[in-house]
Amino acid sequence: MFEIDWNIILESRALLFTGMWVTLKITAVAVVCGLAWGTVLAMCSIAKNRFLTIFAQSYVSLFRSIPLIMLLLWFFLIVPQVLKAIFDLSPSVDIRLISAMVAFSLLEAAFFCEIMRAGIQSLPMGQFHAAKAVGMTPLQSMRYVILPQAFKAMLPIVLTQCIVIFQDTSLVYVIALGDFFRRATSIGERDGTIVQMLIFAGVVYWIICSLLTLIVKLVQQRTAHQ
């Protein structure tokens, strides 16, 4: 019953590779944009300007309290309409991928913000004072002294969050976006092998996440010896 028909998988490998490419693109954009925006939010959260602090804290609180699946549905229903209205796009243009990327990036920024804030605040105050003593501005000290050290300290946690993002991309299933999970289930529904394809998809996710977890452990060991 649960025997996987490898012939079906081989025949559908082009669809599966296309789906995995979509999954990897969403993951990459969410990591890069989320980390960049999250770092900015982290700097705002520890700034002396009360407005910036309140903005960053409110942003993190809002996005961390919204279920990802709900956020995806909101962006799926709202963002395409807004973009089509602004850029006068044809109704036939499919921008579900962009909607998913935007939703993931904004959500993950909230998590990366807390990760980077913890990294910055874990550094001794002497680092800040030393940067100021050599004539660096607050932005220069943050860019050249603080952030590199904070990122290095938080790298294992950042990589772990990347694994979580990769796993969560399967939720784009709800907006009918053809990621790897969606393609696998579609093939299973088409050929009457849904259980087998779900098992196959689960094994693929397990293999990739296990390899990424191994990388995280190697980074942790390397960081611990430095």
What tens digit of pLDDT does each residue of 7-39 get?
A: 888 888 898 999 999 999 999 999 999 999 999
The residue assigned the tokens 């709900």 is: 70
Query: What are the residue boundaries of the structural domains of the chain, listed by start?
Result: 24-177
Sequence-distant (6+) residues with CB within 8 A of 178 are 18, 19, 22, 186
The whole-number average pLDDT for the span 109-137 is: 83
Lowest mean pLDDT among 26-35, 75-84, 137-146: 75-84
Q: Is the pLDDT of residue 125 over 90?
A: no
Residues 166-216 pLDDT 10s: 999 999 988 888 899 999 999 988 888 888 888 899 999 999 999 999 988
- 108/226 Cα distance (integer angstroms): 29
**How high is the pLDDT of residue 225?**
61
Pick the CATH number of 24-177 from 3.90.1300.10, 3.90.1170.40, 3.30.2320.80, 1.10.3720.10: 1.10.3720.10
Q: Is the pLDDT of residue 67 over 70?
A: yes
| Residue 36 in tokens | 């960049």
**How high is the pLDDT of residue 29?**
94
> pLDDT category, 111, cuts 50, 70, 90?
very high
- 89/211 Cα distance (integer angstroms): 41
**How high is the pLDDT of residue 17?**
93
**How high is the pLDDT of residue 207?**
94
- 58/204 Cα distance (integer angstroms): 37
Q: Output the average pLDDT for the chain.
A: 85
The whole-model pTM stands at 0.86
> pLDDT category, 91, cuts 50, 70, 90?
low
What separation in angstroms does the CA of 73 have from each of 69, 80, 104, 205, 208? 6, 11, 12, 23, 27
Q: Where are the alpha helices (DSSP H) in the chain?
A: 6-11, 13-45, 50-65, 68-87, 96-121, 125-133, 138-141, 147-168, 180-191, 194-224
**In this structure, how many other beta carbons lie within 10 angstroms of the beta carbon of residue 140?**
14
**How high is the pLDDT of residue 94?**
66
User: How long is the chain?
Assistant: 226
- 44/55 Cα distance (integer angstroms): 8
Report which of 72, 52, 49, 50 is spatially closest to residue 60, judged by C-alpha positions: 52
Q: Is the pLDDT of residue 129 over 80?
A: no
